[in-house]
Amino acid sequence: MFFVLLIKILLIHPSSTNSLSFDFPHFTPNVSQIQFQNDTFWANNNAIELTKDVDTPNRLESVGWATYAQPIQLWDATTGRLTDFDTHFSFIIGSIEAKGNGDGITFFLAPFGSKVPPRSSGGSLALFVAERADDPRKNRVVAVEFDTFQNTWDPSPDHVGINVNSIVSVANVSWNSSMKDGRTASARVTYNSTTKNLSVFLAYDEDAPVFGGNSVLYHTVDLSKVLPQRIMVGFSGSAGWTAETHRVLSWQFSSTLEIGQNPKNVSDMHSGNGSKTDHGSNIGLLLVGIVAGLGVFGCGFCIALVFWWKKRGSSRSSKANSNMDNEFERGTGPKKFSYGDLVLATNNFDEGRKLGEGGFGGVYKGFLSNVSLNVAVKRVSRGSKQGIKEYQSEVKIISKLRHRNLVQLIGWCHERNDLLLVYEFMPNRSLDKHLFQGENGLTWDVRYKIALGLASALLYLHEAWEECVLHRDIKSSNVMLDSNFNAKLGDFGLARLVDHDRGSKTTVIAGTRGYLAPECFTTGKSSKESDVYSFGIVALEIACGRKPDQAVGGVLVEWVWSLYGSRKIVEAADERLRMEFNELEIEHLMVLGLWCAHPDYKARPLATQVFNVLRFESPLPKLPHEYPPTPASPPAAPCVPDNPSSAGLTDTLTGR
């Protein structure tokens, strides 16, 4: 009876899933995850060369692809969900002949299993058969082209374009300098499944850091109407009658939609309608999977039973660790590390490797030699303010989230009375170190990019993910900065998952003084509105370079509000900027900060409004000239009670 019920459940519910992301800071020759087609080969400097070597005979009309070996789940017909994706890559295009050049490279998406088309060299960019390159009815590919040759359909010799089923771009922009002079280009391509926005960012060495402000190019396209559910992603390079180097140096990719374990056949994906399903074949595969799964389940159950029998005399602490292991391992993404691995990575938690210290313990720089990866290891003692409940919360919540502006959790370990969390390493550390401890601070362009990135993270947590995530401790010391000064929100130890329409109960406060909304002190509640308040304080810190309690007269938000009321708000700008900023942007950010930090929770914006205001897509409100009084009534919903046994109220100086 149990097995019959189990089969019914499996027939109703989707199979287990795993999300996909990968990172190649450089390319090791013959790595199995990258597949080549046609003329592509491994270059000598840990890079990929997409077209023939310039010294190769018959090097003209060269084409090549380099693609990721596994399929990407673009959308899901069962749920109707469409993925977000974010990819970063660097490349070099070099012209060889003084009188001519090749045609450039693309980043493209195509049905999984596709091949380089015949007669696709030169202007067809190795993606289109020449005779039907401009016919959308006969092509299935979406590409971002970095084009270095002006064909009849192109705007200029050097340009960036977005192509949807045609060599003729649906959107393009001319580049104001040569794209084929051998400089290293850094590109980012993102897709937002909510807005259907495909965005392209591009910069060269001297422009870095990049990718925080406006995109070079964007186009609105519903990719589920263009491509099948499962696709391949990669790069193409093409040369016509002249030679050109097309070299890919690095590649990072992440997508939010999970990868189903029962994929469609490639033949189905290549059919005219990518949403059709062979039901008989799928049911057969599902039944095979069920039988195999039951076998694995039975073996696993027996092994677990034997293990339990042998370990029945183990301590309560070991049982607790085992319970956490089981709960964590049901998730996807982060892996369990052994204590020995992390001791080796951090040189036994050497004080010389310590990156920071808080109420929770220390954070250490580590190096995982088996994967050649720098990491940050947070060591949380069981007796700390954060404690085991916050450790469990962080692993369970952040493991489910995937966004370019959230710190990635790589793994975890709880052994020898230590709680250890392993994160991607952020070489530029936290925002507060630059705002309050650096001599020169950050340039205005970088600051505005950081604010945009943090707003994007807030939007994802509150509105874009399937559940509402309340971070409950947004502050500048929890905003980490990667090598390009992109903002990544971290520390989810106080975070909570709630339904988007959930109500609340009153209990104990959690968070950090200076960033806590005033209603939190009277209601004990955390809410979307309180997260927005905290964002507002960070926005003011970014613009003013001052801590929440270190402004003229004491409180930052009240001081900036007084300048706003007297039409002198720009005077609050950080003096270290030396007036080198975009006045409209800095005024926008400070007024938005005041709006978010309004003492009345009902007057604060939603995360969507925050993001749109920073992108100049929504207007700012007219705020009162004087700082308003705090209302007495609590927020209605959605809120989450702060757990009395785990809540921690800290100050802005010591942190967590």
106 has a pLDDT exceeding 90: yes
Instruction: Give the span between the Cα atoms of 507 and 569, in whole angstroms.
Output: 37
**In terms of CATH architecture, what is 432-650?**
Orthogonal Bundle (1.10)
CATH class of this structure's domain 20-257 = mainly beta
pLDDT single digits (tens) 446-483? 999 999 999 999 998 998 887 889 988 999 999 999 98
Instruction: Find the angle CA(118)-CA(120)-CA(124) to the nearest 5 degrees.
Output: 155
Q: If pLDDT is split at 50, 70 and 90, which confidence band does 317 have?
A: very low
- Who wins on pLDDT, 163 or 214? 163
pLDDT single digits (tens) 391-424? 787 788 877 788 889 998 889 898 877 889 999 8
- What is the CB neighbour count within 10 angstroms for residue 289? 15
On whether the 322-424 domain is CATH 3.30.200.20, my answer is: yes
Nearest to 363 by CA among 346, 347, 377: 377
pLDDT single digits (tens) 431-440? 999 999 875 6
Least confident of 149-158, 344-353, 605-614: 149-158
Q: How far is CA 460 from the centre of its chain?
A: 10
The whole-number pLDDT of residue 239 equals: 82
- What is the CB neighbour count within 10 angstroms for residue 231? 26
The rounded mean pLDDT for the chain is: 79
The whole-number pLDDT of residue 457 equals: 93
Region for 266 from its dihedrals, namely left if φ exceeds 0, alpha if ψ lies in -120 to 50, beta otherwise: alpha
Amino acid at 356: G
Nearest to 604 by CA among 535, 501, 510: 535
- Who wins on pLDDT, 319 or 159? 159
- Who wins on pLDDT, 205 or 344? 344
Nearest to 135 by CA among 165, 179, 169, 170: 165
Handedness of CA 629, 635, 638, 639 (dihedral sign): positive
In the chain, CATH 1.10.510.10 covers 432-650
What is the pTM assigned to this prediction?
0.53
100 has a pLDDT exceeding 70: no
In the chain, CATH 2.60.120.200 covers 20-257
Distant-in-sequence, close-in-space partners of 84: CB < 8 Å, separation ≥ 6 = 190, 191, 192, 193, 255, 256, 257, 403, 464
Q: How far is CA 227 from the centre of its chain?
A: 23
Handedness of CA 593, 599, 600, 602 (dihedral sign): positive
105 has a pLDDT exceeding 80: yes
Residues across the chain: 656
166 has a pLDDT exceeding 80: yes
Percent of the chain with pLDDT over 70: 74
Residues taking part in catalysis: 473
The whole-number pLDDT of residue 149 equals: 84
Least confident of 76-80, 331-335, 445-449, 503-507: 503-507
Under 8 Å between Cβ of 166 and 146: no
Average pLDDT for residues 557-562, to the nearest whole number?
96
Under 8 Å between Cβ of 595 and 536: yes
Instruction: Please identify which residue in the block is written with the tokens 């049911």.
Output: 283
In the chain, CATH 3.30.200.20 covers 322-424
**378 annotated to bind ligand:** yes
Instruction: Give the span between the Cα atoms of 466 and 462, in whole angstroms.
Output: 9
190 has a pLDDT exceeding 60: yes
Nearest to 369 by CA among 349, 343, 351: 343
